[in-house]
Amino acid sequence: DVKVTQSSRYLVKRTGEKVFLECVQDMDHENMFWYRQDPGLGLRLIYFSYDVKMKEKGDIPEGYSVSREKKERFSLILESASTNQTSMYLCASSWADRIYYGYTFGSGTRLTVV
Amino acid sequence: EDQVTQSPEALRLQEGESSSLNCSYTVSGLRGLFWYRQDPGKGPEFLFTLYSAGEEKEKERLKATLTKKESFLHITAPKPEDSATYLCAVPGLIQGAQKLVFGQGTRLTINP
């Protein structure tokens, strides 16, 4: 069964901490994505990557950075966590040339910044 | 700009009461429409891809249909386990990557 695995289901961090969210996929997908999901705001794209070491800003990149050193791994970094970054974070992956298969999502990481 | 609008925001039904969820979209050249199911606290789970107007897909009590402007997710004789948020999405296209544009979702509750 194909999988996207997010390293933590729940995280609690303090304001100002540097936070790493890790995502690994085992499907050899070229594209990987980070979204955050908040009530009433839906899914909002933070960053995406279409190849190793390639990254593009999404709709809400401020306060975040990403790293993709290997094809299967895509990390989201909160440089200095703030309370307004409390959210559900979702990683997804997809093939570049077979969009009709859609995305495969991870289970999500519920991050609370206190 | 690609946009996806889902209605209603929330829907409560009694077990066995059939209904439909709507997803309307504006895209510059449709390259498919996707339906996902999301349970509380979990990531979205893929249900269907519809690729062209007139296409229909079925899975258990769910049937998705597609026209040139909208898609419907029909739920026939639902059960409590069908309670979830249903998301639809269409592909945009940015700089060689393929970004799905998601609707806000419809939160469906089926009461026993």
Encode pLDDT of B47-95 as tens digits: 999 988 899 999 999 999 999 889 999 999 999 999 999 999 988 765 4
Q: Which helix (H) or strand (E) holds A89?
A: strand A87-94
Domain borders along chain B are 3-111
User: What whole-number percentage of chain B has pLDDT above 70?
Assistant: 94
**Residue in chain A lying closest to B49 (CA):** A100
Residue-wise DSSP of B30-90:
---EEEEEE-TTS--EEEEEE-STT-EEEETTEEEEE-SSEEEEEE-S--GGG-EEEEEEE
Residue matched to tokens 């989201």? A76
State the greatest distance between any 2 C-alpha atoms of chain B, in Å, as a whole number.
Answer: 48
Q: How confident is the model at residue A2 (pLDDT cuts 50, 70, 90)?
A: low
Instruction: At B20, list the tokens.
Output: 């439909």
Instruction: At B40, list the tokens.
Output: 């509380």
Residue matched to tokens 């062209």? B52
Residue of A113 and B4 predicted with greater confidence:
A113
User: What whole-number percentage of chain A has pLDDT above 70?
Assistant: 98
User: What whole-number percentage of chain B has pLDDT above 90?
Assistant: 73
Cβ <8 Å between A100 and B32 = yes
pLDDT digits (tens, 9 = 90+) for A7-62: 899 999 999 999 999 999 999 999 999 999 998 888 999 999 999 989 999 989 99
pLDDT for A104 equals 94
CA distance B47 to B75: 13
Average pLDDT over residues B91-109: 80
Cβ <8 Å between B99 and A42 = no
From A45's Cα to the closest Cα of chain B, the distance in A is: 9
The mean pLDDT of chain B is: 91
Q: How confident is the model at residue B98 (pLDDT cuts 50, 70, 90)?
A: confident
pLDDT for A100 equals 78
Cβ <8 Å between B97 and A96 = yes
For residue A49, count other CB atoms closer than 10 A to its CB: 21
Cβ <8 Å between B32 and A104 = no
Domain borders along chain A are 4-113
pLDDT for B93 equals 65
pLDDT for A86 equals 98
CATH number belonging to the domain at B3-111, selected among 3.40.47.10, 1.10.150.530, 2.40.160.40, 2.60.40.10: 2.60.40.10
Interface of B with A (CB under 8 A): 31-32, 34, 36, 41-46, 49, 51, 87, 89, 91, 94-100, 102-105
CA distance A33 to B58: 28
- The CATH fold assigned to A4-113 is Immunoglobulin-like (2.60.40)
Interface residue A90 vs chain B (CB under 8 A): yes
Question: Which member of A42, A50, A102 has the closest CB to residue B96?
Answer: A50
pLDDT for B94 equals 56
Which residues of chain A are within 8 Å of residue B91 when distances are taken between CB atoms?
99
Question: How many residues does this entry show for chain A?
Answer: 114
β pairing state of B3-7 and B19-26: antiparallel
Query: Which of A:12-71 have CB within 8 Å of B?
Result: 31, 33, 40-43, 45, 48-50, 56, 58
Residue of B41 and B97 predicted with greater confidence:
B41
Cβ <8 Å between B46 and A94 = no
